[in-house]
Amino acid sequence: MKRLRIRITGVVQGVGFRPFVYGFARARGLAGFVRNSSAGVELEVEGEGIDSFLEAFRSGAPPLSDIVTLETEEIPLEGDREFAILASRDDGESTCIPPDVGTCGDCLGEMKDPADRRFGYPFINCTNCGPRYSITRKVPYDRPNTTMAAFEMCPDCRREYDDPTDRRFHAQPNACDVCGPRTEFVHDDTRLFGKAAVEAAVALLRSGGTVAVKGIGGYHLAVDAENADAVSRLRERKRRSNKAFALMAPDVDCVRRFAVVSDEEEALLLSMQKPVVLLRRRENQSLPEAVAPGVPDLGFMLPYSPLHALLFPGRSSPRLLVMTSGNLSEEPVVKENGAAREKLSQLADAFLHHDREIFMRVDDSVVRRFGNQTIFIRRSRGYVPSVIPLGEDGPQVLACGADLKNTFCLTSGEAAVVSQHIGDMENHETLEFFEETLENLKAVYRITPAAMAHDLHPRYFSTRWALEQNGVEKHGIQHHYAHVGSVMAEAGLKDAVIGVALDGSGYGGDGTVWGGEFLVARRNGFERRAHFRAVPMPGGEAAARNPWQMALSYLADLHGEAAMAAAENSGMTERVGRTAVENVLKIRKNRSLSPLTSGAGRLFESVSSLLGVRDVNTFEGEAAMALEAEAAQGEGGTYPYDIHGSDPAEISFSGAVAALLKDAGSGVSCGRAAARFHNTVSAAVVEMVRRLHNETGIADVVLTGGVFQNRYLLARVIPGLSALGLRPHINARVPANDAGISLGQAFLLRSLL
């Protein structure tokens, strides 16, 4: 007979943990209590056989829970008879908010059951599913602290909420048709509510209309994905970018009609996080080109809120929807009804609103499979704000991230919390989103940063914001060093690594733009040991939008004054115009207009343009992605490259560019030339790393930066390094692109303090 006090931290609130403890203790005849605290969950159990209770406890915990620490302490007996669930206690420590969880099978079943009292109710949820992070204003995660506070539970819902044996026991967003949120459909002068609203939205979608649908973390713009006119209209209205639209399908069978789905990909689609999964499109499917122009992959997700599921009521509905973020070009996704009316009325024909407020905006996550692992393109809804364990204690810090695909990162003790996708820091709205999310996560995790990390780029919004903050120590951390740090943090690499950071651009600090970098990186500093040879970037940032400008720079690099003739031979002059070519070649000679760049992204884009694949990027990475898609499998050829000098060594691909132009001119297919180019870069990376390994003895190799989202490249570099007996590491918890920078900054900053 004894009494234990048990304190548990981790994801233990809002995931059915207390009912689980309650049922578990009662079944074993134990007395005591359980309650939520700000630190997690606290319980006291009294009775016999407590040790076996503890053992079974960990293995039986609810599926959504994640126990980080479990501390026990023996205390005097109190003679309790019953086991009870007590009200929460706010004891001043931090805890976690669970991420938003896709609707569970039980809830979906009830929603489709005409005999159930929640038949057709779009806000059904239980302790195993439903909104969490997006509706929580502060911890502890209890109903009054969520946007559900506005809805008073009806007696039926209250009974479920209070019944420890019910699936909705203390399910904070618990609601029904009688007492909970409801939908509203607005189309011109028509206003409909509840079931009629959903039916009207479905009917409009079926007839080709665009509906702005309020979901979990913001609005989507929805259209019937198989209606070519509707999709084209949406693409025109939204912006001219070619970026692929995300798709929502009612089930995996439907996804299979359009894309190839492996078992692992199916598991990802069905997972509780319900991310967008990038899948290879089937050859003979008939989706309109405007859904995803010129790319081999399609991004699919399954309905993750009950309202989404109701948009697919069967035969009378579209079988596939485009679900793209409801926002004005570069602004954050819209989350409020008023803002939706104001900003989306030019884009949507009608609105499907609801009256449950979204507190935290959170975009859809995007993932893909590579080999036997999942890689993140965007880590947001379903994953944030889950903690990324750092495996060691350390000070509380804030890392502000980079300006493209911004995220920030807070740390406390062993935990890193990386924010959801904030977006490109180029307007006031995005900066505001950054600030409000930061305030929220600081409050939730009770973090007061002792120091702050930021990028070195003086013109980054994130840098300028950091430098404006008072009363906190600030450290600039080089962009590519931070990329490498993100993998060190994830993989727990404490010693020196060879870091290969390939991306579009990052501030170098030496007057050139970096992006093809080989660093020997330690936690307290790095040396730039090699880089791709720098070439002028004619027109600066404009060259990043226009790969043909960069391609001309490579032609000029190769042919000098004969570049004009080369541009003519390659067909470039015909495509972009003689005057444009002449201007760019002129600008290229002016160093103040044409900074030098070693950016690997720029090299890939140039080759894309030289091979006639893409001359323009309508979104970041487009030309390089299209080039990867072209690369023919089974092609083993390579082109010449050259490594010269040392510390830093320079890797020149001039020979490769010359050889690929020759290939292209002599009838070698674009696919083979693209593959040979990829093979060449892979070989150069492996060779450069081999040399650095020989010089330093370091065997841990980090591959990161946006260019390493290229699977063709990864699939060659990783085995190449392994064959040398080295240990390659890639990003597994955060994206390899600039969204991963904040984690790396935070990790490295903690080592500096």
Residues that bind Zn ion (CB under 5 A): 104, 107, 126, 128-129, 154, 157, 176, 178-179
Residue 706 CB, nearest distance to Fe ion (Å)? 6
Rounded to whole angstroms, the Cα distance separating 739 from 402 reads 7
- Region from 167-175, 252-260, 553-561, 735-743 binding Fe ion, contact rule CB under 5 A: 735-743
Nearer to Fe ion, 615 or 628 (CB): 628
- Region from 30-38, 199-207, 386-394, 731-739 binding Fe ion, contact rule CB under 5 A: 731-739
Residue 300 CB, nearest distance to Zn ion (Å)? 22
Q: Pick what 674 binds: Fe ion, Zn ion, none; C-beta below 5 to 8 Å, kind-dependent.
A: none
Instruction: Give the pairing of strands 535-536 and 409-412.
Output: unpaired
Q: Pick what 179 binds: Zn ion, Fe ion, none; C-beta below 5 to 8 Å, kind-dependent.
A: Zn ion
Nearer to Fe ion, 663 or 738 (CB): 738
- 312 touches 250 (CB < 8 A): yes
Q: Pick what 126 binds: Fe ion, Zn ion, none; C-beta below 5 to 8 Å, kind-dependent.
A: Zn ion
> Which residue type does 169 have?
F
Residue 273 CB, nearest distance to Zn ion (Å)? 15
Select the residue whose beta carbon is closest to Fe ion and give its number. 503
Residue 156 CB, nearest distance to Zn ion (Å)? 5
Nearer to Zn ion, 104 or 255 (CB): 104
Residue 227 CB, nearest distance to Zn ion (Å)? 32
Residues 489-528 that bind Fe ion (CB under 5 A): 503, 506
Which is nearest to 347 in space by CA: 211, 511, 491? 211
Longest Cα–Cα distance of the chain, Å, equals 94
- 153 touches 192 (CB < 8 A): no
Instruction: Give the pairing of strands 211-214 and 276-281.
Output: unpaired
Residue 503 CB, nearest distance to Fe ion (Å)? 4
- What is the distance, to the nearest Å, from the Cα of residue 694 to the centroid of all Cα atoms in its chain? 36
Residue 674 CB, nearest distance to Zn ion (Å)? 47
Nearer to Zn ion, 180 or 299 (CB): 180
> Which residue type does 428 have?
H
Residue 184 CB, nearest distance to Zn ion (Å)? 18
- 436 touches 732 (CB < 8 A): no
Which is nearest to 343 in space by CA: 327, 356, 354? 327
Q: Pick what 157 binds: Zn ion, Fe ion, none; C-beta below 5 to 8 Å, kind-dependent.
A: Zn ion
Long-range CB pairs of 590-593 (<8 Å, 24+ gap) are 591/536, 593/538, 593/539, 593/540
Rounded to whole angstroms, the Cα distance separating 298 from 284 reads 14
Q: Pick what 503 binds: Fe ion, Zn ion, none; C-beta below 5 to 8 Å, kind-dependent.
A: Fe ion
Nearer to Fe ion, 222 or 600 (CB): 600
Nearer to Zn ion, 126 or 596 (CB): 126
Nearer to Zn ion, 103 or 737 (CB): 103
Residues 231-250 that bind Fe ion (CB under 5 A): none
Rounded to whole angstroms, the Cα distance separating 231 from 297 reads 17
Residue 501 CB, nearest distance to Fe ion (Å)? 7
**Residue 506 host element (H or E):** strand 497-507
List, in sequence order, every beta strand (DSSP E) within 65-124. 66-75, 83-85
- 729 touches 700 (CB < 8 A): yes
Radius of gyration for the alpha carbons in the chain, expressed in angstroms and rounded:
27
Q: Pick what 752 binds: Fe ion, Zn ion, none; C-beta below 5 to 8 Å, kind-dependent.
A: none
Exposure of 610 by Cβ count < 10 A (0-12 exposed, 13-18 middle, 19+ buried)? buried
Nearer to Fe ion, 142 or 620 (CB): 620
Q: Pick what 311 binds: Fe ion, Zn ion, none; C-beta below 5 to 8 Å, kind-dependent.
A: none
- 532 touches 600 (CB < 8 A): yes
Which of 309, 382, 738, 742 touches Fe ion (CB under 5 A)?
738
Q: Pick what 107 binds: Zn ion, Fe ion, none; C-beta below 5 to 8 Å, kind-dependent.
A: Zn ion
Nearer to Fe ion, 180 or 506 (CB): 506
Cβ neighbours for 596, distance < 8 A, ≥ 6 positions apart: 511, 512, 513, 534, 535, 536, 537
Question: Is residue 455 at the binding interface for Fe ion, with CB under 5 A as the rule?
Answer: no
Nearer to Zn ion, 49 or 144 (CB): 144
Query: Measured between alpha carbons, how far apart are the two ends of the chain, in Å?
Result: 48
Residue 117 CB, nearest distance to Zn ion (Å)? 8
Residues near Fe ion, by CB under 5 A? 503, 506, 738
